[in-house]
Structure 1
Amino acid sequence: MLSNGIKYLDVPYVAHTLEADGPEELVINCDEVDCTTLVEYVLAETLTPKLADGDISESAFADNLQKIRYRDGKIDGYTSRLHYIADWINNGVRNGFLQDVTGAMSPDTERLSISYMSSHPQLYKQLANSPENVAKMKKIEQSLSGKEVHYLPKAKLPADGLPWIKDGDIIAITTNTPGLDVAHMGIAFYADNKLLLVHASSTDKKVVVSKVPLSQMLKDNNKWTGIRVLRMKK
Structure 2
Amino acid sequence: MKIVLILLLGIFLTVVLPVNAQKRNPVLENGLSFLGTPYVAYTLEESEEETLVVNSNGVDCMTFVEYVLAMSLCPPQKKDIEGVEFRKYLRQIRYRDGKMEGYTSRLHYVSDWINDNIRKGLIEDVTTVYSSFMDTLSLSYMSTQAKSYKQLNRSPENVSKMLEYEKALSGQTIHWIPKKEIPAEGFSWIENGDIITITTTVPGLDSSHIGIAVYVKEKLHLLHASSVKGKVVVEEIPLSKQLDRNKNMSGIRVLRMKKTGIPSSPPPDSLK
Normalising by structure 2, report the TM-score.
0.84
Q: Which runs of 5+ in 1 are unaligned?
A: none
- The alpha-carbon deviation at position 50 of structure 1 amounts to 2.0
Partner of 1:6: 32
Partner of 1:178: 203
Partner of 1:212: 237
1:22 paired to 2:48: yes
Distance 1:140 1:55, change over 3 A: closer
- Counterparts of 2:81 and 2:112, CA distance in 1: 28
Partner of 1:42: 68
Partner of 2:116: 91
Give 1:78-227 correspondences, 5 Å limit. Answer: 78-227=103-252
Alpha-carbon contact 2:135-2:175 (below 8 Å) kept: yes
Alpha-carbon contact 1:50-1:56 (below 8 Å) kept: no
- Counterparts of 2:50 and 2:236, CA distance in 1: 37
Whose helix proportion is higher, 1 or 2?
A: 2
What amino acid is aligned across from residue 70 of structure 1 in structure 2? Y
3-state SS of the aligned residue for 2:159? Answer: helix
3-state SS of the aligned residue for 1:215? Answer: helix
Aligned Cα root-mean-square deviation (Å): 1.3
Alpha-carbon contact 1:48-1:56 (below 8 Å) kept: no
What amino acid is aligned across from residue 171 of structure 1 in structure 2? I
Partner of 2:266: none
For this pair of structures, how many residues does the alignment match?
A: 233
- The alpha-carbon deviation at position 125 of structure 1 amounts to 1.0
Q: Percent of aligned pairs with the same residue?
A: 54
3-state SS of the aligned residue for 1:187? Answer: strand
- Counterparts of 1:230 and 1:21, CA distance in 2: 30
- The alpha-carbon deviation at position 73 of structure 1 amounts to 0.3
Partner of 2:13: none
Normalising by structure 1, report the TM-score.
0.97
- The alpha-carbon deviation at position 21 of structure 1 amounts to 2.5
- Counterparts of 2:77 and 2:200, CA distance in 1: 40
- The alpha-carbon deviation at position 170 of structure 1 amounts to 0.2
- The alpha-carbon deviation at position 103 of structure 1 amounts to 1.0
3-state SS of the aligned residue for 1:18? Answer: helix
Match of residue 93, structure 2, among 54, 59, 68:
68
Q: Which runs of 5+ in 2 are unaligned?
A: 1-26, 260-272
- Counterparts of 1:190 and 1:110, CA distance in 2: 27
Q: Which has the larger radius of gyration?
A: 2
